[in-house]
Structure 1
């Protein structure tokens, strides 16, 4: 006789199949971890004493173009969820549509920004129609894996920290209705910052309200209980570390003591929790996000987060201490499994040279004629760089003003670099001198970093967002060259043996006898992106603090391996090597 499976709650406890269930969860994202390592990371989670894994779903990766979906490879969320079930781990699913997560545009797809006046996370019908299409596919893929249907999903989130964004109650009600419509008929929840204003703004009927915080559990949880007395208490994101931003010292601490203090209090006071992050992994590709309050601050690619399990999946001092603490709070008769060995060793890669180069100037695509510069999204481009070209011959010397640069521009006149503008520094103007009277080709090459992923400036279009002025006049008549830094662009590069200064791509090869994880040392390079065997590993930037790129051994092969480095500013090729430890806290002196 089979038992009916259920997950719900009473006034004080979550109930799994009718029995009290404390959620000891760890956040890790399948899309930040090579698929070959998923099982190992899940086994590490269980061995630390956790029983649940929490993960977001990134809309921008799963629907890279309207109506075109990808749930393959590292995006095969169903395979990840089934692995969790095989390892005896329950799941918290966070499908968005907005996920924050230091992820470009908070996980929203860039193609939304091709609609000039669109608004997001509200009742804008164009946004809701796009969400409905995505959620229909999310439901098709994952709703059948809820606990009561035989799968591992015990909680499904509605939106994400909405109480820190807006007060559109109709929108939140629409999100609940849509989540239900696509098949999520199990237990729902919302999470928000741990204060009454945010929690009330983000809560919805029928969902458990949980609080996010990184300290003072002894104050935050009692406040949540006063607000929502007829439900279990849970910290939806316990911030076990923090993310890092380009040009700033590394955040957080490796000291386990503060984390142990907070977790111990929650263990002793009947509180469920979710480590954010248990294992951060890497924001591969060009997906790292940014913040923009008074200053635009883009995030690095490493998502190490000073988490219990580090970027490459190795246990830290936090992991060891938490395993000891959580081991003493397991259900009667449960003994923690052994910590699994890493799937591959860490290796060093001897220094090697890059031997071919491809200048951006020699590899320009066909341009698009535009009256004025437009953001790349208006031209169907999602990421990478964009070049704007016009002629200012006969206009004389003067001030060139870009309104605005998103995010980092190199300005050239007749091929000569005349200025650099950095959005982080609110730079918009370059003085031009000696402008030729006849022909004077003006090139503005804009490199991008992440779109804002939190707050009220989410509509962060890339390139030149409005106009270019010269001596007060708006310059008209431009050509725009799309440089997306994607696989198709790399495949079409024309390589040559001679070295070329930036902006340029550089290619070389290294050999390994056995594969293993490593960390490419990019010190000596300036600013750009690195690929190995076609995998886009990371952005790199000499300002730090991240100076290495995590290279998963699962993406290597015995024998020859290909590396491509794009660098915007370097004077030519530099040697590369692989280290056996990352460099994540090396900030360049202000210059």
Structure 2
């Protein structure tokens, strides 16, 4: 089996077949659209699709594995093969990808002495081994050696830029060959990191990442002479983060020039991304700015200015890709193929139905919401979200922390130790005193204040509340200690506490909590499918034009993700048609800042 597999791979290269690939993450695309997107990738002239595997989606709780519905990776691979595509698989365990904690499941943080991506953490190695054992029971039969489409598997992900443990990559490589029975393994990174000490492992080959060619091919030729060259990530655009000015783009002219340079060098290529899709739910990550020692939370849209737009439409870069491949490899183009353009509907505006205020929601459901247990021995200190227990506990979404205080002798009270409580994790927090907002630490400013003052007359009793949001754990550079929520206890000046305890409530806003919040929601009425598919048309919700500020939206129980129109640049959220239904569609919005009168829909995305 081994020799047959290697022979077929050699034959693939000796026949002068070049890997012409595009990245598409199955978990960022509704399952109903997998075939449509893969056919458009094939239609552009590409012969391979590249995808990551999101560990935190497939094992959200330790030992609880999910491979159904949107996570049916086996079905994705079957469709890819049926469409006529090879597959490059990138299983991680770390994937970066502007994805929550780079794909690591949050429960890893509860393990003692947890250090990710290093062999000195036995708990980490055991978790990865267990995960890969289960994962490759799903993937093994889809490898090229068994008649499947997977022709290559990546060893970890961009480890050369991390490179803290010389034994780690060999360990992952051995695990892939032992558990996954994987061959033709590859290691990728920007080539300048390879020169800083990353080494080629036996039976693997190096590939490059870049947006402009530079000296990448010279470096690859130096490190591995007489071997095929490949660009595993030619960045077709870039991602956005909240608070930046405008949407990140790469001009079609530059895209055209670089694609031609890569192919003229005799290299294989993967466009990252060919189709970016959407970081639905709570899964958008954050990137760490080392110089500023803070993170930047990524937007929900992962459009990436890619050849295929977030909604699956053909862009100018798709046309450029097809033209270049037709010039270099004319046999890859099917001139008779007709592509289905997405149908985006601008639905009529709908009036908001104000459901409940967060304080009423907490009060009305206090008994249920407080049914939490803590691993900490006392509630005199706060716990991060990963340590919450109980039916509503979650490391994602929000957490509400509350403590009561007595003011004593001064007109001002100081809340201190905030920097320790909020940093270095990526926790956005709004601070309330008796339900009035006194401050928001939004993670866009350059620094977290260490203290905040508020009016408090002697003898008054005050309830201080911290509404903490996991704004996306850091997915690049600073990976260890990625706790969310308050990780240290805020301190108060000039007071006598009414109670030594903090109450801590998990607010993941999951299906159970949404049912507790409402009997009547904002509804969108869809009278007919109005689509070539067997479901209604896609649409965009424009939160800027709806007068909304910052929050998250659920449609028929599906979490579309975060919006933050007052900060931008993203103003709209993509709502896939498969998630709508004929008749009434329930829309629930958790809004933190402001609300308008009507919810506005659009047929196009918008950035400010």
Structures share fold, TM-score greater than 0.5: yes
Structure 2 contact 523–584 (Cα < 8 Å) conserved: no
Quote the offset at 1:358 in angstroms. Answer: 2.2
Report the Cα distance in structure 1 between the residues aligned to 2:439 and 2:458, rounded to whole angstroms. 17
Give 1:185 shift.
2.9
Shift of 1:144: 1.4
Do the aligned partners of 2:541 and 2:574 also contact (CA within 8 Å) in 1?
yes
**Is 2:322–2:333's contact at 8 Å kept on the other side of the alignment?**
no
Q: How far off its partner does 1:438 sit?
A: 4.6
Asked if 2 retains the 8 angstrom alpha-carbon contact of 1:104 and 1:290, the reply is: yes
Which residue number corresponds to residue 317 of structure 2?
318
Matches within 5 A, 1:392-431: 392-395=405-408, 396=410, 397-401=412-416, 402=418, 403-405=420-422, 406-425=426-445, 426-428=447-449, 429-431=451-453
Q: Sort the Cα spacing of 1:339 and 1:470 in 2 relative to 1 into closer, same or farther, 3 A.
A: farther
1:162-177, aligned counterparts within 5 Å? 162-177=159-174
CA distance in 2, matches of 1:310, 1:573: 29
In structure 1, the partner of 2:549 is 526
What is residue 235 of structure 2 aligned with on the other side?
Answer: 239
Structure 1 stretches (4+) deviating beyond 6 angstroms?
A: 472-475
Q: Which residue of 2 aligns with 1:499?
A: none
CA distance 1:373–1:198, shift in 2 (3 Å)? farther
Superposition RMSD in Å? 2.3
- The answer to whether residue 264 in structure 2 is matched with residue 268 in structure 1 is yes
> Is 1:477 aligned with 2:475?
no
8 Å CA contact 2:399, 2:507 repeated in 1: yes
Quote how far apart the aligned CAs of 1:335 are.
3.5
Structure 2 regions of 5+ residues with no counterpart?
363-368, 373-377, 530-535
Q: What residue number does 1:382 align with?
A: 395
1:365-514 alignment runs, 5 A limit = 365-366=369-370, 368=372, 370-380=379-389, 381-395=394-408, 396=410, 397-401=412-416, 402=418, 403-405=420-422, 406-425=426-445, 426-428=447-449, 429-435=451-457, 437-471=459-493, 476-495=500-519, 507-514=522-529
Residue 463 of structure 1, CA deviation: 0.9
**What CA deviation, in whole Å up to 9, does each residue of 1:394-449 have, x standing for no partner?**
34532212223242222122222222222332233211212562532111111221
Aligned length: 568
Cα distance in structure 1, aligned partners of 2:203 and 2:475: 28
Q: Distance in 2 between matches of 1:512 and 1:8?
A: 56
203-212 or 304-313, which moves further after superposition? 203-212
Give the match's secondary structure for 1:492.
helix
Q: Distance in 2 between matches of 1:443 and 1:462?
A: 16
**Other structure's SS at 2:167 match:** helix
- Aligned-partner SS, 1:355: coil
Equivalent residue, structure 2, for 1:94: 90
Cα displacement string for residues 226-269 of structure 1 (whole angstroms, at most 9, x for unaligned residues): 11114211111000100000010235335211111111112122
Higher mean alpha-carbon deviation, 322-331 vs 34-43, is at 322-331
Greater mean deviation of Cα atoms: 298-307 or 392-401: 392-401
1:574: how far off? 3.4
Checking the alignment, whether the CA contact within 8 Å between 2:379 and 2:501 is kept in structure 1 is yes
Say which of 84, 102, 123 aligns to 1:126: 123
Q: In 2 relative to 1, CA 116–462 (structure 1 residues): closer, same or farther, beyond 3 Å? A: farther
C-alpha distance in structure 2 between counterparts of 1:568 and 1:581, whole Å: 25
Please give the secondary structure, in 2, of the residue aligned with 1:282. coil
2:217 maps to 1:206? no
Do the aligned partners of 1:452 and 1:459 also contact (CA within 8 Å) in 2? no
Match of 1:330 in 2: 329
Query: What corresponds to 1:81 in structure 2?
Result: 77
Match of 1:501 in 2: none
Paired residues of 1:155 and 1:189 also in contact (CA < 8 A): yes
Distance in 2 (alpha carbons) for counterparts of 1:477 and 1:330 = 69
CA distance in 2, matches of 1:251, 1:474: 50
Q: 2:568 aligns with which of 544, 549, 553?
A: 544
- Structure 1's 54 and 243: CA in aligned 2 closer, same or farther, altered over 3 A? same
Higher mean displacement: 406-415 or 530-539: 406-415
- Which of 260, 265, 280 is 1:284 aligned to? 280
Gaps of 5+ in 1: 497-505, 587-591
Cα distance change of structure 1 residues 335 and 323 upon mapping to structure 2, 3 Å threshold: closer
Equivalent of residue 558 in structure 2, options 535, 548, 564:
535
Superposed counterparts of 1:174-189, under 5 Å: 174-189=171-186
Q: Distance in 1 between matches of 2:494 and 2:162?
A: 37
